[in-house]
Amino acid sequence: MRRFILIALPYLWLLLFFLIPFVIVFKISLSDLALAIPPYTPTLSWPITWEALKEFFAALDFENFTFLTTDDLYWKAYLSSLQIAVISTIITLLVGYPIAYGMAQARDEWRPTLMMLVILPFWTSFLIRVYSWMGILSQEGFLNQFLMWTGVISEPLQILNTPVAVYIGIVYTYLPFMILPIYSALEKLDGSLLEAAEDLGCSRFKAFWLVTFPLSRAGMVAGSFLVFIPALGEFVIPSLLGGSETLMIGKVLYEEFFNNRDWPVASAVAVILLLILILPIILFERNEQKQREADQ
């Protein structure tokens, strides 16, 4: 019974907070647009009868999903979001790994302070932090004023309302999500392994590349997923820092729901976005399972 409860709890969590909401959104995506509240015609109404189910499957169509393939806006938004999310994840990894490695190599009495400095931005509202970057990156902002004062540039740069500002905002916002998993993996690393590698003739860099880096792979993968998944559907950062020219699927999803009030099409966009996020996770889990079986 105890084993059953331990197994049932995570599945119950997934059922309540993932599967049921997904089924509701998928059901809306199969509906038709209507001038009503809610703004769609329900495909199934309670109570569900056998006759209603037969009518539902007889009239079932994927018109809203087909519509997404006919308009360039949607697939361009998906590709743009994937590009921004992948590049932002790579930049966050390149910035976050040295920070996590430095934290793991620091003395024990300094580690709690360094950890607090990483977590400190979470004590401020996410929206306020993004708004602050608008002031920093604007033409009259701190960054341009500092570069002009140092003589690096002679006139203000256009950084705000460009993809560069979106990358800066995403990397800054999600950097702690990359640092913490990598730091957790590096902190557990047995130092005797590095000593053994150096005793066997490895240089410090080679010992790091052959021992430390592979053993921190789990932290890098976890951090990459924690950054990539929310960055792919990000809405606030591209809206405030990217301006109207930055195309991301999160902005399209918001506009379909709240501006166009086309809930069926918006739900279809959300379903495809969720499938894009689920597929790499499933492939990664299968790869990890195969590696565990090979190690055994």
Is it the case that residue 97 has pLDDT exceeding 90? yes
**Rounded-to-5 percentages of helix, strand, coil across the chain:** 75, 0, 20
The pTM for the full model equals 0.87
| Residue 170 placed within a domain | yes
Looking at per-residue pLDDT, the higher value among 189 and 228 belongs to 228
247 occurs within a structural domain: yes
Domain of residue 286, CATH code: 1.10.3720.10
Is 42 a domain residue?
no
Q: Would you state the structure tokens that stand for residue 139, as one six-digit string?
A: 């033409």
CB atoms within 10 A of CB 241: 25
d(CA 20, CA 67): 25
**For 205-217, what is the mean pLDDT?**
88
With respect to residue 7, please indicate whether it lies within any of the assigned structural domains: no
Residues 6+ apart with CB under 8 A from 191: none
Q: Is 168 part of any domain?
A: yes
Residues whose CB is less than 8 angstroms from the CB of residue 106 and which lie 6 or more positions away in sequence, other chains included: 114
| Count: domains in the chain | 1
At 131-187, the pLDDT tens digits run 999 999 998 899 999 999 998 888 899 999 899 999 999 999 999 999 999 999 999
Tell me the residue range of the domain where 82 lies: 71-295
Per-residue model confidence (pLDDT) at position 47:
63
pLDDT at 137: 92
Tokens of 126: 């996410």
Segment 187-204 shows an average pLDDT of 83
> Is 171 or 295 the better-scoring residue by pLDDT?
171
DSSP assignment of 226-259, as one string?
HHHHHHHT--HHIIIII-TT---HHHHHHIIIII
Q: Cβ of 265: how many Cβ atoms within 10 Å?
A: 24
Residue 157 token pair: 């740069």
Average pLDDT over residues 50-60: 67
pLDDT of the residue at 136: 93
| pLDDT, averaged across the chain | 87
Give the pLDDT of residue 193: 83
Residue 131 neighbours by CB under 8 Å, 6+ apart? 240
| Residue 11 is assigned to a structural domain of this protein | no
Q: Tens of pLDDT along 250-294? A: 999 998 988 889 999 999 999 999 988 888 778 777 767 776 776
Contact 210, 197 (CB under 8 A): yes
